[in-house]
Amino acid sequence: MTAFDILFIGSGQGAWNAALPLSMSGKKVAIIERDKILGVCTNYGCNPKIILDGPIKLMEDAELLETAGLQSEFKLDWGKLMDHKNKILDELPKTMEANLKKAGVEIIRGEARFTDAHTVEVDGASYTAETIVIATGQRPAELHIPGEEWLKTSNEFLYLPELPAEIVLIGAGYVAMELASIAARAGCRVHIVQVSDRVLNGFHQPYARQLTEKMKQDGIQFHFNEKVTAVQQAGNELQLQTESGLTLQAGLIVNATGRIPNVEPLQLETAGVTYNKKGIEVNEYLQTSQPHIYATGDIIDKTQPRLTPTAVFEAKYVAGRLLGKTSEPIQYPPIATIAFTSPRIAQVGVTAEEAEQHSDQYSVKPIELGKQWDFAGRGETSAHLTLIYDKDKKLVGAAGYSQEALEIINSLTPFITLGLTAADAEKLIYAFPSFETMIPRYFQS
Ligand SMILES: Cc1cc2nc3c(=O)[nH]c(=O)nc-3n(C[C@H](O)[C@H](O)[C@H](O)COP(=O)(O)OP(=O)(O)OC[C@H]3O[C@@H](n4cnc5c(N)ncnc54)[C@H](O)[C@@H]3O)c2cc1C
Ligand SMILES: NC(=O)c1ccc[n+]([C@@H]2O[C@H](COP(=O)([O-])OP(=O)(O)OC[C@H]3O[C@@H](n4cnc5c(N)ncnc54)[C@H](O)[C@@H]3O)[C@@H](O)[C@H]2O)c1
């Protein structure tokens, strides 16, 4: 039996961002991983998605500039794009594994399960630790319908060697909307089958509706209020049926109806760790029902968005706590989030919906970015920004609709998180022309 100070289950952002500093500070650390090192973000999430989106954004930007005289006819070779992405990303888990080992972290391959509150078993070998961190993330949810076995997930989409002519995405959250944007520009006929009449729940809904209209113009077909009841093979293709009688046929059907926590193989009951269908329950120190067992990242039952920066923040918090650098509860700052659609939708802090419900506390300012010379110059006449202020005129929230929403939201985040004022904005000299130079004006009423 090997004994460690700290044992991590999972090697994603919620794990390695703690394992590395802990090991470098002299702790005896191990990581158990059953799949690729670095977890979902690097291998099946953010990184592959954003590389595939590279040419997609460029094509969208170029189309916007047609009004400025740009004539462009792009042809995307999906197979080459996939090779390009794989070549870059295949290296990352290997490099990280080498870096972790160099820092003294032991990597244990296989699936972990608890045999008692301090012991974890992997393929018959037992490992004990004073502290255990569960960072096992989530996996795609299942629909539990006949023909489920024909459905693919974002995992497979992000590694598709060829794109079929027609694709159906079930769901209209981050995954479905991002993959639909990519697939449509890459030349697929795309359908979105959504159980309700909303897309991108949690985002500023006027922007979500505007995005839906834009995606429809791009040829994406939305089928709202449809409940998928079965999938079956139909010749070389697949056929999907819904409760209302809608039938769609396509080469690929992707289930993007959400993600569920990876708890089952862990035998959490054996360790006395409580969980529910949303994940592992933790207190404000990220301790589970067993104080020496922590949880970080997507596996936690939490209200904060399940995103990479959240997992990194939690991992760093746990590392700090285990190194005695903090005894305070975790305090999350406002968490910026973005859907990488065409155009993007992003937001941070208090939402316009919350502000409208509490109009005695907040005010909302819509800004037609598309009318500003720089956005108009790029052909982005529909770009828009919504700012939310508190009673002291401090910026407390923002939502953006633009190809540049990532940069916009990230440049506003320090003002919101740190409570910076108009006077602070005036102290900064940004490179010009840029969105940032406009920020002082956004404090004027
Ligand atoms: C398609 C997609 C796109 C995304 N895009 C973005 C984005 O653009 N920006 C963003 O911020 N977030 C994005 N996310 C979310 C982001 O990937 C997650 O929030 C992040 O990966 C969470 O990290 P984690 O460490 O908690 O879990 P994970 O990355 O899921 O890592 C958990 C690891 O634990 C391993 N594991 C599970 N059970 C066991 C076990 N019993 N034994 C051993 N190992 C086990 C798994 O194999 C996995 O490697 C995306 C997610 C998806 C699916
Ligand atoms: N850009 C990013 O940061 C990013 C990108 C992708 C994924 N993620 C992370 O991954 C998580 C999972 O994303 P997701 O899109 O799979 O989940 P999600 O929860 O965002 O969306 C699921 C969608 O499926 C719909 N749905 C649920 N059941 C359905 C059914 N039976 N039939 C049809 N539609 C149904 C929901 O209404 C919703 O629109 C996100 O919450 C986020 O944490 C983040």
In the reported structure, the alpha carbon of residue 261 is separated from the centroid of ligand 2 by a whole-number distance in angstroms of 14
Give the CATH number of domain 343-442; options: 3.40.50.1970, 3.30.390.30, 3.40.50.620, 3.30.365.10: 3.30.390.30
The residue among 99, 94, 93, 90 whose CA lies nearest residue 23 is 99
Please state the φ and ψ torsions of residue 145, each to the nearest 5 degrees.
Answer: -125, 160
Give the integer Cα–Cα distance in Å for 21 and 26.
9
C-alpha Rg value of the chain to the nearest Å: 23
* Residue 427 CB neighbour total at 10 angstroms: 9
Give the CATH number of domain 148-257; options: 3.50.50.60, 2.40.440.10, 1.10.10.10, 2.70.150.10: 3.50.50.60
Please state the φ and ψ torsions of residue 5, each to the nearest 5 degrees.
Answer: -75, -50
Fold of 2-140+260-322: FAD/NAD(P)-binding domain (3.50.50)
Ligand nearest to the CA of 154: 1
**ipTM confidence score:** 0.98
Give the integer Cα–Cα distance in Å for 283 and 51.
36
Q: Where are the domains of the chain?
A: 2-140+260-322, 148-257, 343-442
Tell me if domain 2-140+260-322 and domain 343-442 are identical in fold.
no
Our answer on whether the CB atom of 84 is closer than 6 Å to any ligand 1 atom is no
Strand ranges inside 25-70, DSSP E: 29-33
Residue 131: what residue type? Answer: T
> Of all protein residues, whose CA lies closest to atom 20 belonging to ligand 1?
308
Give the integer Cα–Cα distance in Å for 15 and 316.
9
Q: Would you say 211 and 374 are in contact if contact means Cβ atoms under 8 Å apart?
A: no
* Residue 231 CB neighbour total at 10 angstroms: 23
In the reported structure, the alpha carbon of residue 208 is separated from the centroid of ligand 1 by a whole-number distance in angstroms of 25
Residue 163: what residue type? Answer: L
- DSSP 8-state assignment for residue 287: B
| Per-residue pLDDT of the chain in tens (445 residues, 90 and over written 9) | 799 999 999 999 999 999 999 999 999 999 999 999 999 999 999 999 999 999 999 999 999 999 999 998 899 999 999 999 999 999 999 999 999 999 999 999 999 999 999 999 999 999 999 999 999 999 999 999 999 999 999 999 999 999 999 999 999 999 999 999 999 999 999 999 999 999 999 999 999 999 999 999 999 999 999 999 999 999 999 999 999 999 999 999 999 999 999 999 999 999 999 999 999 999 999 999 999 999 999 999 999 999 999 999 999 999 999 999 999 999 999 999 999 999 999 999 999 999 999 999 999 999 999 999 999 999 999 999 999 999 998 999 999 999 999 999 999 999 999 999 888 988 999 999 999 999 988 876 5
Strand ranges inside 143-194, DSSP E: 166-170, 189-193
